[in-house]
Amino acid sequence: MQTAIITGASTGIGLSLARELAKRGWRVALAARRTELLDQEVARLTAAGHTALALTCDVGDAEAVRAAVARVEQTWGPIDLAVANAGLGDPKPIVDMQLADAEYIMRINFLGMLHLFDAVRPSMLARKSGHFVGVASLAGFRGLPMSGIYSASKAAMQAFLEAARVELRPHGIIVTTVNPGFVKTPLTDRNTVSKPFMMSAERAAVIVADGLEQHAAEVNFPLPTATAMRLLRLLPNSLFDFVVGMGAKRLVGPPK
C-alpha cells in the first residue's frame, strides 16, 4: 500500500483528495490546523476500512511540518506522494494591501509548500523515488486584478515546481503542478466574485487523482477556464491590459 501526505486536508480540495486517494487504495495522512476536523475524518475513513492518520500542523512552521512528516515515516515508512495543498487568499484591491496579510499569504501558500518539500526531500532523494505535488491555481498564470498577492503566491509555486520537475527527474522524483479554476469549497464560499465553471471538490479530487496516477506534469482544470487562462497568458501586455482592465474596473471600482 502506498502512502500519501496532504496538507490542508481538513476541508475543501485537500479533504476530497484524501477521500479519493483512500478510495483508490492509498494510506493517507491528513495535515491541517483544525485537529477536531481531522480526527473526525480519520475516524470516518477508518470505519470505512481505509488507513488514515491525522496530523495537526501549521504549514507556516517548518519545524511542525518536519515533525508531521517524521510521524508519518515512523508510523508507515517512506512517503510516496506529498501534496502541498494548504492555502488561502481573499480578493482584495492592491490599493488596500496590508503588508502583514501579504506576507502571511506568501508564507502559507509558497513557503508552506517549500516546508513540505524540505521535509520529504531527504527520503525521496535517498530512495530515488517519490512524487511531489503543489496545488497552485490558474490565477497564477497572469497577475489578476483583486488577486495580486494570491496570483503572485501561486505564480511563485508554479515557477518553483517547474524548475523542480526538470531538476528532480534524474533523481527519480516526479513533480506535478495542480492548477484548479473555481472549485466549491469554504475558500470560494467566503467571496462573492463571479465563479464561472465552478465544480464540486469531489469532482476536482477525481481529476487531480487521475492526473497524479498518470504522473502528469500539470493538471489544469476545468477545461474552459484553463483554456481561457492559457490564451490570456499568450496575450501581449497591451491587449491583456485592455481585456482584463475592463473587468478590473468593474471589480475594483474607480480610484478613491
Ligand X SMILES: NC(=O)c1ccc[n+]([C@@H]2O[C@H](COP(=O)([O-])OP(=O)(O)OC[C@H]3O[C@@H](n4cnc5c(N)ncnc54)[C@H](OP(=O)(O)O)[C@@H]3O)[C@@H](O)[C@H]2O)c1
104 is catalytic: no
Nearer to ligand X, 30 or 168 (CB): 30
Please report whether residue 12 would count as binding ligand X according to CB under 6 A: yes
Least spacing, CB of residue 243 vs ligand X, in Å: 21
Nearest to 23 by CA among 241, 213, 190: 213
Please report whether residue 140 would count as binding ligand X according to CB under 6 A: no
If binding means CB under 6 A, how many residues of this protein chain bind ligand X?
30
Distance (Å) of CA 246 to CA 238, 242, 252: 13, 6, 10
Give all strands (DSSP E) within the chain, no chain letters: 3-7, 27-32, 52-56, 81-84, 130-135, 173-180, 183-184, 199-200, 218-221
Nearer to ligand X, 133 or 173 (CB): 133
Please report whether residue 147 would count as binding ligand X according to CB under 6 A: no
90-129 positions binding ligand X, by CB under 6 A? 108
Q: Give the cell for residue 155.
A: 505564480
The span of 10-18, 46-54, 68-76, 95-103 binding ligand X (CB under 6 A) equals 10-18
Please report whether residue 13 would count as binding ligand X according to CB under 6 A: yes
CB 226 within 8 A of CB 218: no
Binding mask 45-84 for ligand X (x = CB under 6 A): -------------xxx------------------------
Please report whether residue 87 would count as binding ligand X according to CB under 6 A: yes
Measure CA of the first residue to CA of the last residue in the chain; give whole Å. 58
Q: How many CB atoms lie within 10 A of CB 155?
A: 18
Among the listed residues 117, 150, 160, 182, the single catalytic one is 150
Dist CA 175 CA 169 (whole Å): 8
Nearer to ligand X, 6 or 174 (CB): 6
Considering only 5, 21, 32, 79, the residue that binds ligand X (CB under 6 A) is 32
Dist CA 197 CA 72 (whole Å): 36
Q: Which residues of the shown chain bind ligand X in the complex (CB under 6 A)?
A: 7-14, 32-34, 37, 58-60, 85-89, 108, 135, 137, 180, 182-183, 185-188
